[in-house]
Every structure is written in structure tokens, then in C-alpha cells.
Amino acid sequence: MNDRAVVALGKIYKNELQVSEEWELYAENMFPGSPHTIISPVFTININANQTTVSFTEIDVSPYDERSYKKYAYRKGASNGGDITVTTKFGAFDDAVNYRNKKVDTILNNVFTKSISIGELIKSPEKEILILIKNEWMQNVSEINKKLYDTYESLDKEAKKKCGLSIIVQKGPDSLFVADFEIFRTALVKDATQGLSEFGGVVSEGFNNICSICLTQKEHLHGFASPFKYYTVDKKGYISNYFSLKLAWKNYPICDECAEGALLGARMIEEELNFYFYGKPYMAIPRLLIDDEDRYLEVFDAFRQFRNSERNAQSAYEDELMTFVRNKKTILISI
């Protein structure tokens, strides 16, 4: 895989996202390319005589699409530790009698705990609100989960396949979504960037040296910034420089700008450039012999049209796509 091509795609993706704050780069769309449904228990903040309480009020069901996904601040996490914020993909209940759901259990037992810890770290007053929400949900888990179950079961078959779970906090006349909380915005950035130079408790950073992607001298270089699994340092035998994890940055030095581009480019490839050939998945990555952002965008748009075309028309469009690629003599396709 050509790293420069991935970084070039990342620059295109960043321009498309039209972000105003860093956290927006790392908020992900749960089901890119198609509208879906998000179910949210609504918690109301009550302030009486200088005492703040939180109460569960209702279940909200709203559409979730290419325009609205940022406010829910979803980011996929580890399979055994929950996602990065309280927004997650939602599905069938494990126990339709007691209304138990693994996603809800993970939010209450893992995600809230991690988020509250981040609140302590950044000294955010939002921490107290999250504690109140968690306690309210746990104390009324049967009632809230039953309403979640009823709401989920009321969806049609297709809506159930693409459904998310989040929370909404009502503060006076304002509805606060996950992205309105500094704690969750910080969690997004922290998750996306903390592993660039740290692995297994070891920090690997270089300074004033050459980036392996842009081939220019940069002040700061990361040792673990590759977003792809083909590069790994989880075994000592994979590390040169005397098997020293601290010196891993010399194997694959990546600067701040290229690290961001690689991360976003990998996300664009996973969301927009994955295809199937006789049931086998593959990713098509356009690579120009001469770097040209406008041409990268032109080629990417062609692939996007192919991916979004009707399945029964793809064979005809595939011929057009290959003709387009053939006529553009500066294009190579990496698969």
C-alpha cells in the first residue's frame, strides 16, 4: 500500500469534512452512505435550591445521517471495552424478559467510567453531570431498558439493521447531544492520537528528522502512527534497532501532518473504497504517478460513483471506470 496515496486521500477527506475543531476529524459515521436511526434516552437536569439532580424523561428516536452524525460523536472502540463515547451501534436484546442488553451494560460499566476519569483529568465540571446520569440510569435500568426495548422492537426490519444508541441531556430549553460535552470531545481526540507515539507503555518519538512519507525534515516524528495492521511492533522480532521499542520510530517515522492524513485516508478507504469481487473484499486505492490533488479528487469521485451505483448497473459502469482509468495515464490502482 502506498502511504503517500493514503495521505493524499486523507487530505481530500479532511476538506470534505469541513471541520472547525479538531475533534470533528475523529467523529465517525456509524453507517456511512445510508441514513439510519438513533435511539436516545433523554435525561433532564433539574436545579432546585442550588441542588442539581438528573431524571430520566423519555426515549427519543431521530434520523442519523451524513449531516447529523457529528453531534452524536461516535467513534468505534475495542470490541471488549466499548466504544469511545456513549454513542454506539445498537441491536437486539440478549434477554427479552429482563430487558438486558450488552451495549447498555458496556456503556454503564465501562464507557461512563472512562469518561468520568477523563473529566477528572481535565478538571471538567461536566463530570458531575455524567455521574448523575449514570446513577439515574443504573437505578432505573429496568424501566429505561424496557422503553429502549419497546422502541427498538417497533422499528421495521431494515431500521433495526442500522440503529444506534446515544443520550440526550435536556438543560432548560436546550437539548445537549454527546458532542456538546467537552469530556466526550476530549475522548475522541485522545483515542485517535494517544497511540501515535505510545505502545505498551513505551513512548517512541523522533525529533528533527526525515518523515518516511513526505520525505521532508520535520520537528516531531511518531513511532506507531501507521493506521494499518500490516505494520506492527507487538513482538520484539518485528523491531529493528536492537529490538528496542523506544527506537521504533526509526523503522517507520511519520510526522504529525502525515499521521493525521494517514488516519483520515485509512478511514476514507474503509468507508468509500471497499468493494467485493466474487464475495471477496478488496480495497481500491488510486495512486497518481504525479501528485495532483485535483486529479486525486477526480479519480476518487469516479470510484465513489461506482460504489454508489445500482448493483445491477455496476458491470456496465465498471467498463466505463476502467476506460476512465486507462485514459488517465498518470493513474495506478493498488488492490
Structure confidence at residue 320 (pLDDT): 66
Q: Which pLDDT band holds residue 315 (cuts at 50, 70, 90)?
A: low
**314 contact partners, CB below 8 Å, separation of at least 6:** 306
Q: Is the per-residue pLDDT at 325 higher than 80?
A: no
The amino acid sitting at 190 is K
**Calpha distance 209→280 (Å, rounded):** 40
The 3-state DSSP class for residue 273 equals coil
What mean pLDDT value characterizes the chain?
A: 86
The amino acid sitting at 187 is A
Verdict on whether the full-model pTM lies above 0.75: yes
Q: What is the mean pLDDT of residues 3-17?
A: 89
pLDDT digits (tens, 9 = 90+) for 139-179: 999 999 999 999 999 999 888 989 999 999 999 999 999 99
- Block residue for cell numbers 536492537: 242
Strands 205-210 and 202-203: unpaired
pLDDT digits (tens, 9 = 90+) for 94-121: 887 888 899 999 999 999 999 999 999 9
**Calpha distance 265→334 (Å, rounded):** 14
**Calpha distance 182→277 (Å, rounded):** 43
Q: Quick one: CA torsion of 185, 186, 192, 193, rounded to 10 degrees?
A: 150
- Block residue for cell numbers 477528572: 120
Please state, as a whole number, how many other Cβ atoms lie within 10 Å of the Cβ of residue 334. Answer: 12
**Calpha distance 44→174 (Å, rounded):** 10
pLDDT digits (tens, 9 = 90+) for 188-236: 999 988 889 888 888 899 999 999 999 999 999 999 898 887 777 777 6
Q: Which residues lie across from 206 on neighbouring strands?
A: 221
Q: Are 146 and 98 in contact (CB under 8 A)?
A: no
Q: Are 202 and 246 in contact (CB under 8 A)?
A: yes
Please state, as a whole number, how many other Cβ atoms lie within 10 Å of the Cβ of residue 106. Answer: 18
The 3-state DSSP class for residue 284 equals coil
Q: Where are the domains of the chain?
A: 3-15+194-261, 31-192, 283-334
Q: Are 330 and 288 in contact (CB under 8 A)?
A: yes
